[in-house]
Amino acid sequence: MQGMNHVDLRSLFDQQHHASRTQVEVPLVLRRERLLRVQKMLHEHGATLAAAVQADFGVRSPQLTEMADLMVLRTMLSDTLRKLGKWMRANRVWTPLHLLPASARIECQPLGVVGIIAPWNYPIQLALGPAIAALAAGNRVMLKPSELTPHTSAQLAHVIGQFFSPEEFCVVQGDAQVASQFSGLPFDHLVFTGSTAIGRKVAIAAAQHLTPTTLELGGKSPCIISNDCDLELAALRIAHGKLLNAGQTCIAPDYLLLPRGREKAFEQAFRKAVAQLFPSLAGNPDYAAIINQKQFNRLRSLAQQAEAEGAHVQWLDGAETTQPGSAAPGWGDAMQRQMTPALVWNVHSGMAIMREEIFGPLLPVISYDRLDDVIQAINAGERPLALYWFGHDDKLRDSVLRRTVSGGVTVNDTLMHVAHDNLPFGGVGHSGWGAYHGKHGFLRFSHQKSVFLQAKWSPASWLYPPYGAKFERIMTLLKRLT
């Protein structure tokens, strides 16, 4: 459906909308059958999809896509298929004394048509993850993948078209203009994953139809190291979280808060960790390329601006530092767009690298003296999508968790909370709103309908007018009971 115009887009939406209103009840057997089709699709075409991702990035190993995209989806599907029947059951709720003998329950129903605008960084996982939750909830799905991953988008359109009819689940391809038109359709729910700036535009477009949204955005996710931390282990786990997909991960550690005096020790541990994970950088398929030249140049500009304002950029390629504009070492292989990882020291809040989400292999480091200063620094900015704590003092850890607000937290590791199917994944404030994964996704894409079942005899009739002495006695009794 490449190059779809607005009329075709609306026609496709109307087809799904009509189908969702014609078949309001979507039984468990049909929902499971749709999820099993997704499972079969990934089994048969996973390797082809991974090859498409590699073609879009230029350098990104199929193993990375298998681990970060496909494995996540497989575990999500397995968990959903196992628990869906339980999630769908009507949930009986306690009825207060003054309403007895009536009863009440909550029934989950499909919303209708769910639109998904997916990003380019994990183009399979972040396209199909919300779709799995939406299909489990009984909805129809329209997916708009990123135009920055055209091979993956085309392959998704092809394989989804083989397994689903257009009124069930379809893919819309196109540029930013198509995405804008897509976000303006009157969906029953719209999911967007991407930058805060674009998320704001999507929310405005959706508001024209009062379309509820789930926005998975990003921001500056802090990583805090405590004084009692094992630096060797922490550095390895931070390096993995920061350099997975070359830092092009919405929950990657965006900056590091390090106890003053441990700078040299951390630099050595981090350099060792990078060498362990990526013995070589240029040409190493495990170390992903930056998605395109525009993003590569943006990252280079962030580093250059930081250096111009007094920061020290320490490239982890065997050289201590590189002057802006020099060919090598430093920027890495510009032809392959494999950017060398770097620690950025002596940063301050006014620098662009500390204002903007980095989305690349640059890690600013801020030294701190007191944990209170860390809390203050985090709370002075917008609420992050993720927060990471490394340390073994439970009281200090819990103090940080109580006094900061973030979308999610991983303690003594990075990224792993997103892999837990029973934890909701989502942001807060500028890092997004709404959450999915597991039952949380099922509920997000369901209407939770309240059902009150009145008994043949009801004490509520005692409260009917005309009001008098009997009414006053009953109200006095109810005040005592409530």
Please give the structure tokens belonging to residue 180: 């804008």
Exposed (0-12), middle (13-18) or buried (19+): which is 352, by Cβ within 10 Å?
Answer: middle
Whether 170 sits among the annotated catalytic residues: the reply is: no
Whether 216 sits among the annotated catalytic residues: the reply is: yes
Q: Which of 167, 216, 307, 357 is catalytic?
A: 216
Q: What one-character-per-residue DSSP string does 41-102 give?
A: HHHHHHHHHHHHHHHHHSS--HHHHIIIIIHHHHHHHHHHHHHHHHHHS-EEE---GGGTT-
Q: Which of 170, 250, 307, 357 is catalytic?
A: 250
Q: Which segments of 189-270 are extended strands (E)?
A: 189-193, 213-216, 222-225, 255-259
Residue 129's CB is within 10 A of a number of other CB atoms, namely: 26
- Nearest partner of 39 among 79, 84, 80, 74, judged by Cα: 74
> What is the number of alpha carbons within 13 Å of residue 299 lying toward its C-beta?
29
**Residue with the two structure tokens 């398929």:** 285
Helix (H/G/I), strand (E/B), else coil: 433: strand
Q: What single-letter amino acid sits at 207? A: A
Strands 446-453 and 386-390, how do they pair? unpaired
Provide the annotated active-site residues: 216, 250
